[in-house]
Amino acid sequence: MAATRTRKGEESRSRLLHAATTEFARLGYHATKVSDIVAAAGLSQAAFYLYFTSKEAVFTELIAEFRGRLQVLADAGKLATHLSPESVPDQVRANVLALLQLLMADATLTRIALFLAPDGESIRDGIAALIMANLQANQAAGIIRPDLDVAVGADAMVGLLERLLRRWLKTGEGAPESLASAAADVIMYGILNREVL
Amino acid sequence: MAATRTRKGEESRSRLLHAATTEFARLGYHATKVSDIVAAAGLSQAAFYLYFTSKEAVFTELIAEFRGRLQVLADAGKLATHLSPESVPDQVRANVLALLQLLMADATLTRIALFLAPDGESIRDGIAALIMANLQANQAAGIIRPDLDVAVGADAMVGLLERLLRRWLKTGEGAPESLASAAADVIMYGILNREVL
Amino acid sequence: MAATRTRKGEESRSRLLHAATTEFARLGYHATKVSDIVAAAGLSQAAFYLYFTSKEAVFTELIAEFRGRLQVLADAGKLATHLSPESVPDQVRANVLALLQLLMADATLTRIALFLAPDGESIRDGIAALIMANLQANQAAGIIRPDLDVAVGADAMVGLLERLLRRWLKTGEGAPESLASAAADVIMYGILNREVL
Amino acid sequence: MAATRTRKGEESRSRLLHAATTEFARLGYHATKVSDIVAAAGLSQAAFYLYFTSKEAVFTELIAEFRGRLQVLADAGKLATHLSPESVPDQVRANVLALLQLLMADATLTRIALFLAPDGESIRDGIAALIMANLQANQAAGIIRPDLDVAVGADAMVGLLERLLRRWLKTGEGAPESLASAAADVIMYGILNREVL
DNA sequence: CATGAATGAGCGTTCATTCAT
DNA sequence: TATGAATGAACGCTCATTCAT
């Protein structure tokens, strides 16, 4: 079904996939009609079913693709490194940046996977779990406050990233570097002015 | 249209409204059929249109109701008080708690308005804006770190609350008080162990 | 069902009847909803069924009323008089006028009965039949051209009246007298200029 | 939407169009269900919307088709010729015949356009306007009685044709030639027996 | 590989009519 | 007599999916 034999087929399939990404991101899953996708791809409705079993199938494939990319990052250990005490802040910033860059690399796909898919929540939960594991390890190492509820800490990190990402997806404003560093700082240091209090 | 003249009508209308809330929360807007709603309310399909102009109209009414409740809180100034330096932490916790309690008061409605409605994002943005204004005022008062990007601070707060709320909506675990206090602490103090670093 | 016992009931019934006439004339049978009628009458939907068995029933009653009025004229023999040779033209004009006046007396009802009712055609056919009988009699009497196809003559008369009536119902322009006389003249004398030909 | 790419599609479309004509003529616009049309065409409900945007759209298309045919006749000048004095009667008969033949050529369509469509009246008014213009010209030429109200003359002609047509549509009796000639005679010469009066 | 044509299943909405008070 | 509430039965339209070529 999904197997393509010729180069031309390959190309049609990827055109459909791309069109689907665009349309889903633009309209959401339900509002996107198969006819929208094929129109954007310049193909017929029937052609769609040459490459995908159903509308849901493309969507699923898109999500799977996203999950795959995320897995690569997770496997690379970027999200679960032990921090060496010397340069903690910089490492945290770097980690956040890596994640953010991955998510920003394919904006439309990210939008679909994280914010439009029914199981977007579970993906975000997966990220949160990774981060939580990281916090736990570093809490044991004494770098994270011992009284911190790590689940809440992870939620703060992920929740903040979610919102920053949404803003960025909408406006496109802000460089990954500055966003990552601002986010890391808030999470690391909190918002209070300790000098005064 | 929406006018009900007798107690019986009043009741039917609210049964429909309640059923709609439940079904929308359970299935989402699109997947919820008018037939689902009336079935849950024990009324006929036609009765639905006695009280609401359309499926979309009930949904809108639900959201409006939620917005109204939120407005009450905002007007009460709970979300934008100047903190007196003495007991900052307690006040922050109290404010977070007030917001959380409001949102938890009608779990299903909150779920719909915040996470299922197309304009849920804008509602959350509204909350973020309120919090940001609050941060700004308190930054000027010296209570908040002068180098903090208040927009990011507000996003951290709202993002965290979003995630906590989602978890709570799903699991029902955790008392508002402890959640609010944990959230407030992370945002105020950050996650790092300052003694060590 | 249709029987009214009290004065108040009598009044409600006639209010409904009047409202029905207006609405049917304005919107046509199908487009007129029972809710339109009762709204115009200032009563509830249920009240409607206190006085009429169905939407169709009111309509039928209206038509019957019209048929009755027409019958009166027919019975009065106005449409089937033998013309006395002396003043044929004036008598024809008078007859046409009598018919026209009847039809114009209740414009909305006429509009409904003749032009909106499914059996409006049969009513018009009835009028044509009367006129044809009249022509036949007068043809025998030598007043009408012996070579005239009386059916066609009757159709000309009725067809013309139909069109004049429609125009008048729409614009309200023209006095019955002048319309009747113009119509009678065309039918009697034709359109050609005999002096020349 | 209306574009058909293959012969098969072309055929389905015209089958639907034909079925629509039949059903509309038989039942009228409102009483005709899309399901009736597709049943008569041997297609599925959905297929209907492959070729027409809505039920109303087919109806409109039908009317437009009729208007087009009429326009052809009008443009051909058949309805607005100057009569040459010699053979006036024959020319009038010929003109009436041409019109009648056009209208009889597609009986069902004519029935729909003239007698069932909401704007049937305006179409008939259009015909009347053409005829009136014709009368006016010929009145100036001295062929038509100078004292004739041409509007009324046109109404007599059109009104008569309407009735003859209706009868013919119902019974199918009468050849176009004889109907046209009888109609022309009544309109030209009137009904009175001039020898006597 | 690709398409135009076709369809089944479903959904939101309307409206004449009835019921309970 | 009158009403607000309620309903059954339709109907127009949409859309993901399949078929024939």
Nucleotides of F under 7 A from a protein CB: 1-20
> Residues of D with CB below 8 A from C185's CB?
148
Q: Is-contact B114 B161, C-beta < 8 A?
A: no
Return d(Cα B51, Cα B5) in angstroms, integer.
Answer: 11
Return d(Cα A150, Cα A157) in angstroms, integer.
Answer: 10
Instruction: Confirm or reject contact between A192 and chain B (CB < 8 A).
Output: yes
- Express each pLDDT in A140-193 by its tens digit: 999 999 999 999 999 999 999 999 999 999 999 999 999 999 999 999 999 998
Name the minimum distance, in Å, from the CA of C56 to any CA of chain D.
14
**How many angstroms separate the CA of A63 from the C1' of E8?**
30
3-state SS, residue C65: helix
Return d(Cα A195, Cα B152) in angstroms, integer.
Answer: 21
According to DSSP, residue C194 is labeled: T
> Residues of A with CB below 8 A from B164's CB?
152, 155
Reduced 3-state DSSP string for D56-117: HHHHHHHHHHHHHHHHHHHHCCCCCCCCCHHHHHHHHHHHHHHHHHHHHHCHHHHHHHHHHC
Contacts of A9 (CB under 8 A, 6+ apart): A50, A51
Angle at A121 between CA A88 and CA B169, to 5 degrees: 105
Return d(Cα D53, Cα C56) in angstroms, integer.
Answer: 31
List C-alpha distances in Å: B101 to A75, B71, B95, B104, B109. Answer: 39, 14, 10, 5, 13
Give the distance, in angstroms, between the CA of residue D64 and the centroid of all CA atoms in the same chain.
Answer: 12
Chains D and B touch (3+ CB pairs under 8 A): no
pLDDT (0 to 100) of residue D59: 97
Count of beta carbons in the 10 Å neighbourhood of residue C72: 10
List C-alpha distances in Å: D116 to A42, A73, B193, D23, D104. Answer: 43, 70, 85, 12, 16
**How many angstroms separate the CA of D51 from the C1' of E11?**
22
Q: How many CB pairs under 8 A join A and B?
A: 130
- Express each pLDDT in A113-138 by its tens digit: 999 998 899 999 999 999 999 999 99
Dig out the tokens for A2 from the structure. Answer: 């999904």
- Hey, are the CB atoms on A192 and B193 less than 8 Å from each other? no
pLDDT (0 to 100) of residue A79: 65
Stretches where chain B sits below pLDDT 70 are 1-2, 77-81, 197
pLDDT (0 to 100) of residue D172: 93
Return the residue matching tokens 């409204």. B17
Q: Give strand pairing partners of B144.
A: A192
- Hey, are the CB atoms on C156 and D153 less than 8 Å from each other? no
Q: What is the mean pLDDT of chain A?
A: 93
Count of beta carbons in the 10 Å neighbourhood of residue A45: 12
According to DSSP, residue B191 is labeled: S
pLDDT (0 to 100) of residue A25: 95
Type of residue found at D71:
Q
| Chain C 32-91, CB < 7 Å to strand E | 32-35, 45-46, 48-49, 54-56
Type of residue found at D32:
T
Q: Is-contact B150 B139, C-beta < 8 A?
A: yes
Instruction: Confirm or reject contact between C158 and chain D (CB < 8 A).
Output: yes
Strand E reaches within 7 A of the B55 CB: yes
Type of residue found at C65:
E
Instruction: Confirm or reject contact between A140 and chain B (CB < 8 A).
Output: no
Minimum-distance CB partner of D196 among C142, C166, C193: C142
Nucleotides of E under 7 A from a protein CB: 1-20
Stretches where chain C sits below pLDDT 70 are 1-3, 78-80
pLDDT (0 to 100) of residue A76: 82
Q: With cut-offs at 50, 70 and 90, classify the pLDDT of residue A87.
A: confident
Which of B193, B187, B118 lies closest to B158, judged by CA?
B187
pLDDT along chain D (197 residues), means of 10: 88 98 96 98 98 97 96 79 80 94 96 94 96 93 95 98 96 96 97 86
Average pLDDT over residues A90-95: 92
- Hey, are the CB atoms on C193 and D85 less than 8 Å from each other? no
pLDDT (0 to 100) of residue A86: 78
Which nucleotide has its C1' atom closest to residue A52's CA? Answer: F17
Which nucleotide has its C1' atom closest to residue C10's CA? Answer: F1
